[in-house]
Amino acid sequence: MKEKGYLSLVLHAHLPYVRHPESELYMEERWLFEAISETYLPLLMNFEKLVNEKVDFRITMNITPPLITMLMDELLQERYLKYLLERVRLAGKEIRRTKNDKQVNDLAKMYHYNFCEFYKVYKRKYNCNLVEAFKHFQDIGVLEIISCPATHGFLPLLNVVPSAARAQIAIGVQMYKKYFGKAPRGMWLSECAYVPELETYLKEFGIQYVLLETHGITYAKPKPLYGTLSPIISPNRSCCFRA
């Protein structure tokens, strides 16, 4: 009988830091607002649906320090509410404009409904605090949130100055503890890039497992028996999974 394995769902939640108080309409901030509407809020709403339906699920995701900082920023929270209200208004206009085209009109109604729901859930249910919302699902045991280096910096390159690479991991762990109330067990390495010198810092800050790209495992010595189909253990006893 062939050995059976397990599939682990690990989601990577990251956006570059964008915040422009000098302008009300900045294109890069819309990346964040689109991600909240199309990814983070739907994820939370589906997590809640699964919990209410008593579905026994487990998911792992990381939330990077830049994304945490943006999600907790009051200016960006307020601007996201304005973003939603503007889309509600535009979708309402589109419903009226397309009243003689059922297919497009139904699409406009769907978007109008979604943006209204997002506004209600974001402002009234989660009080604009999505980090705390994700923490709730971790606290009840269905979601494991892992850490990421401070600015999503490319650690093999930063390790030319070892203190810089160490600081990336240290601040990533520090941010995690601040917002999730405990130390992280795992870390999604930036760009899934790895060099053996990182092991010292990972061990120092208590990281038990990391996510790597394919070459980080296939070029390991000794060569892994199962290739990328199974995690491997580093000399410092951290577990390495292929992302």
- Per-residue confidence (pLDDT) for residue 93, from 0 to 100: 96
d(CA 215, CA 222): 13
- Which two three-digit tokens encode residue 220? 């390991």
Q: Collect all residues with Cβ–Cβ distance below 8 Å to 166 and sequence separation of at least 6.
A: 201, 204
pTM score of the predicted model: 0.91
d(CA 61, CA 42): 14
Angle, helices 102-119 vs 74-97, to 10°: value is: 160
Domain ranges in the chain are 147-243
- Per-residue confidence (pLDDT) for residue 1, from 0 to 100: 54
User: Among 171, 172, 170, 176, which residue's Cα sits nearest to residue 135?
Assistant: 176
- Per-residue confidence (pLDDT) for residue 243, from 0 to 100: 78
**Dmax (CA) of the chain:** 67
C-alpha distances out from residue 159 to 53, 163, 195, 197, Å: 47, 7, 9, 8
- The tens digit of pLDDT for each residue in 71-87 reads 999 999 999 999 999 99
Extract the residue ranges of the chain whose pLDDT is less than 50: none
Please answer whether residues 75 and 19 qualify as being in contact, where contact means their C-beta atoms are separated by less than 8 angstroms: yes
